């Protein structure tokens, strides 16, 4: 999922933003020939994600820097455990320290959050999904971090699945009745190779989506009782996805409803970063 060219381009942009014409403090204080070793260490338990980006960052700053992994991506990491060891020119390591940590802290935060949601499901067959509520330009990395935490990815963009949401439904009503049926048919005619998902706010809309033979139905902001009725009504004729108002505390109560998926925007739009330091040894 991590394209090397994408990683390099992102790191070059980050270096241009942060370093500019040069790291004034480091160039003034740190001797040119000084060599050091530093460990990347979390200050709290987490799931590891983003180390390839840190490795690319240091390589872009100074190809002579050695970057050794202490953990694999997706591996659980306890407070104080060495995630990676960076060795080489002190100037290069100090210049790249904050950028590298910003990257890893962010993606470890997403992976750790995803793991908590997956863990809260217990042995349920329901799958945790992310959404498109991601940072523009960084979606691939944020969805990658969700995978490292044990979640799965929803559609990547507007092009790889039809998703008829509330605004689509409402605007389709302007052209006549049976808006869901007609919207699904229009999408199948225009993009026959794509699966179709319909967002439903009510059980009546679930029934309409079933009649239209949508492959997926998103149950938007429904109560547990409504979703249980939707599971019975659907009788496995479509995959059901719960979305809206999903919190970590609510996950155990959803685990036994018979849902296929639970999508959680919070996995990417509001997770806290993990506290990680770079300790010189």
CB distance 16 to 72 below 8 Å: no
Average pLDDT over the chain, rounded to whole? 96
Q: Within this chain, do residues 141 and 84 fall inside the same structural domain, yes or no?
A: no
Q: Within this chain, do residues 106 and 126 fall inside the same structural domain, yes or no?
A: no
Q: Within this chain, do residues 263 and 153 fall inside the same structural domain, yes or no?
A: yes
Count: domains in the chain: 2
Q: What is the pLDDT of residue 172?
A: 84
Q: What angle do CA 22, 23, 25 make, to 5 degrees?
A: 140
User: What is the domain-level CATH number for residue 9?
Assistant: 3.90.1170.20
Q: Within this chain, do residues 144 and 235 fall inside the same structural domain, yes or no?
A: yes
Q: Within this chain, do residues 14 and 108 fall inside the same structural domain, yes or no?
A: yes
Cα dihedral 192, 196, 198, 199, rounded to 10, equals -130
165 carries an active-site annotation: yes
Q: Within this chain, do residues 87 and 149 fall inside the same structural domain, yes or no?
A: no
Q: Within this chain, do residues 232 and 152 fall inside the same structural domain, yes or no?
A: yes
On the question of pLDDT at 40 being above 90, the answer is yes
Q: Within this chain, do residues 180 and 265 fall inside the same structural domain, yes or no?
A: yes
Q: Within this chain, do residues 57 and 176 fall inside the same structural domain, yes or no?
A: no
98 carries an active-site annotation: yes
Q: What is the pLDDT of residue 173?
A: 82
Report the pLDDT averaged over residues 222-232. Answer: 97
Q: Which of 116, 132, 133, 250 is catalytic?
A: 133
Q: Which of 55, 73, 199, 205 is catalytic?
A: 199
- Give the count of beta carbons closer than 10 Å to the beta carbon of residue 173: 14
Q: What is the pLDDT of residue 177?
A: 82
CA distance linking residue 225 with residue 255, whole number of Å = 13
Pairing state between β 196-200 and 216-220: parallel
Q: Within this chain, do residues 235 and 149 fall inside the same structural domain, yes or no?
A: yes
User: What is the domain-level CATH number for residue 162?
Assistant: 3.20.20.70
Phi/psi at 9 (nearest 5 deg)? -65, -40
Q: Which of 62, 220, 229, 275 is catalytic?
A: 220
On the question of pLDDT at 218 being above 80, the answer is yes
Domain that holds residue 156: 119-269
Q: Within this chain, do residues 35 and 138 fall inside the same structural domain, yes or no?
A: no
Segment 263-279, tens digit of pLDDT: 999 999 999 999 999 99
Q: Within this chain, do residues 155 and 102 fall inside the same structural domain, yes or no?
A: no
Q: Which of 12, 79, 165, 256 is catalytic?
A: 165
Segment 59-89, tens digit of pLDDT: 999 999 999 999 999 999 999 999 999 999 9
Segment 161-203, tens digit of pLDDT: 999 998 998 888 888 788 999 999 999 999 999 999 999 999 9
Q: Which of 43, 98, 213, 256 is catalytic?
A: 98
Taken in order 53, 56, 60, 64, the sign of the CA dihedral is positive
């Amino acid at each position: 999922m991590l394209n090397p060219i994408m990683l390099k381009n992102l790191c070059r942009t980050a270096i241009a933003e942060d370093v500019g014409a040069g790291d004034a403090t480091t160039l003034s204080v740190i001797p040119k020939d000084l060599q050091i070793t530093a460990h990347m260490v979390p200050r709290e338990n987490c799931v590891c994600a983003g180390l390839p980006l840190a490795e690319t960052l240091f390589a872009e700053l100074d190809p002579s820097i050695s970057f050794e992994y202490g953990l694999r991506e997706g591996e659980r990491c306890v407070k104080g455990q060495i995630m990676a060891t960076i060795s080489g020119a002190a100037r290069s390591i100090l210049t790249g320290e904050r950028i590298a940590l910003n990257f890893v802290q962010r993606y470890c935060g997403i992976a750790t959050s995803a793991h908590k949601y997956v863990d809260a499901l217990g042995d349920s067959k329901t799958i945790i999904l992310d959404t498109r509520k991601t940072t523009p330009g960084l979606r691939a990395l944020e969805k990658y971090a969700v995978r490292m935490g044990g979640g799965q990815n929803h559609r990547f963009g507007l092009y790889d699945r039809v998703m008829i949401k509330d605004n689509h439904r409402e605007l389709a009503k302007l052209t006549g009745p049976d808006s869901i049926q007609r919207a699904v048919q229009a999408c199948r005619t225009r993009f026959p190779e794509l699966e179709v998902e319909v967002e439903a706010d009510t059980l009546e809309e679930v029934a309409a989506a079933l009649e239209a033979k949508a492959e997926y139905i998103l149950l938007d902001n429904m109560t547990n009782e409504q979703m249980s009725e939707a599971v019975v009504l659907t009788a496995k004729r479509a995959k059901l996805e719960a979305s809206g108002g999903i919190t970590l505390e609510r996950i155990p109560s959803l685990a036994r409803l018979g849902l296929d998926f639970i999508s959680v925007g919070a996995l990417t739009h509001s997770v806290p970063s993990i506290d990680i330091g770079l300790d010189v040894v």
